[in-house]
């Protein structure tokens, strides 16, 4: 990482603080597919395609959703420091965040950035109260982005669950999918600490075993029947599904969806609502189309699906240090 005298130290310190919050965003398999470039008046977020998931995310759609989540965190952190962030996305996927000093900017749910986590536990079965749902429904969405909530006990909820199970059948029947998944598994504490990325054993509630044992157990657990057994229990314990859609299924909207998603997740975290991804149907074009038809949203593209409910906090995924993520400063 280079140092540029044209960025005053006090401003640079603020920028680094913003990046530290940005990288707390979620990403598929916790790949953390981002890099950052600093300028005197902006920060760029760049896609790191070396951390792409070509099997499960061949179009990089979920990658750019993750970058949008990071951009939203960065803007909230900027507001916390007294900076106004203005976001634009280039056609090749670079996110420009222009920064200017401004007093009195709100930083909604800034404290929740560090608290938010993907909680893969079985939830406690409690339903989200109507008053809390009303707050979630008021989350401002970026243009072209849809947010749909489906309550447990409804036909729509059951229809979505069925598509999740079918998605498991297809993914777990793919050797390429399972190979890619295993590449991002972090099998014990030593392995997790070495990489500071990927799917840690701890987030699944697994014990800290010798790596050869953990690899053997995982290799024999990646099948549709076992995954569906787990997902049936987890889905039954949830209160709602939340489905996020785009209107045009293009790169700029994927980033916009990520920003909207992160606002939603931070608001949910503030209400002590847990969330976990159930995106299997959206990762298969045929299943995603069937979902849109079943739910009566045929002019939208289902993109991100999560389950919501209440649960004890889980382990947190690690993040890489930001010094290795900053490139080509102005």
Nearest to 284 by CA among 179, 172, 150, 199: 172
Q: Taking all residues of the chain, what is their mean pLDDT, rounded to a whole number? A: 96
Contact present, 270 and 203 (Cβ < 8 Å): no
| pLDDT of residue 330 exceeding 90 | no
| pLDDT of residue 4 exceeding 90 | no
Close Cβ partners of 232 (under 8 Å, ≥ 6 residues apart): 161, 165
**Burial of 255 (C-beta count, 10 Å sphere; 0-12/13-18/19+):** buried
- The pLDDT value recorded for residue 5 is 55
Specify the domain boundaries for CATH 3.40.109.10 within the chain. Answer: 9-116, 130-309
pLDDT band at 188 (very low <50, low <70, confident <90, very high): very high
**CATH architecture of the domain covering 130-309:** 3-Layer(aba) Sandwich (3.40)
Instruction: Report the half-sphere exposure of 13 (CA within 13 A, side-chain side).
Output: 4
pLDDT tens-digit map of 256-315: 999 999 999 999 999 999 999 999 999 999 999 999 999 999 999 999 999 999 999 999
Could you please state the CATH topology (level 3) that the domain comprising 9-116 is classified under.
NADH Oxidase (3.40.109)
- The pLDDT value recorded for residue 3 is 43
pLDDT tens-digit map of 193-237: 999 999 999 998 899 999 999 999 998 899 999 999 999 999 999
Whole-angstrom Cα distance, residue 173 to residue 253? 31
pLDDT tens-digit map of 29-82: 999 999 999 999 999 999 999 999 999 999 999 999 999 999 999 999 999 999
Contact present, 115 and 26 (Cβ < 8 Å): no
pLDDT tens-digit map of 88-99: 999 999 999 999
């Amino acid at each position: 990482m280079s140092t540029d005298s044209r960025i005053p130290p006090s401003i640079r310190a603020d920028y680094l603080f913003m990046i530290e919050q940005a990288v707390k965003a979620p990403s598929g398999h916790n790949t953390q597919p981002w890099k950052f470039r600093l300028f005197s008046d902006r920060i760029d977020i760049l896609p790191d395609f070396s951390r792409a998931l070509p099997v499960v995310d061949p179009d990089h759609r979920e990658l750019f959703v993750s970058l949008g989540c990071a951009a939203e965190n960065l803007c909230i952190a900027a507001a916390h420091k007294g900076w106004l962030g203005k976001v634009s996305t280039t056609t090749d996927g670079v996110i420009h965040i222009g920064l200017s000093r401004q007093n009195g900017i709100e930083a909604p749910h800034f404290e929740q950035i560090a608290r938010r986590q993907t909680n893969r536990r079985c939830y406690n079965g409690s339903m989200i109260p109507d008053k809390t749902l009303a707050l979630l429904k008021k989350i401002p969405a970026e243009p072209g982005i849809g947010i749909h909530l489906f309550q447990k006990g409804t036909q729509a909820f059951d229809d979505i669950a069925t598509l999740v199970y079918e998605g498991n059948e297809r993914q777990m029947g793919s050797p390429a999918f399972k190979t890619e998944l295993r590449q991002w598994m972090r099998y014990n504490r030593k392995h997790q600490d070495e990489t500071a990325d990927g799917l840690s054993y701890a987030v699944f509630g697994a014990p800290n075993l010798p790596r050869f044992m953990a690899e053997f157990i995982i290799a024999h657990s990646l099948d549709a029947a076992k995954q569906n057994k787990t997902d049936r229990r987890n889905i039954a314990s949830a209160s709602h599904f939340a489905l996020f859609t785009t209107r045009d299924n293009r790169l700029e909207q994927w980033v916009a969806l990520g920003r909207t998603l992160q606002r939603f997740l931070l608001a949910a975290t503030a209400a002590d609502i847990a969330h976990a991804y159930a995106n299997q149907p959206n990762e298969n074009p045929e299943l995603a189309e069937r979902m849109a038809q079943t739910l009566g949203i045929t002019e939208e593209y289902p993109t991100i699906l999560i389950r919501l409910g209440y649960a004890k906090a889980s382990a947190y995924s690690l993040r890489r240090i930001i010094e290795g993520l900053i490139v080509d400063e102005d």
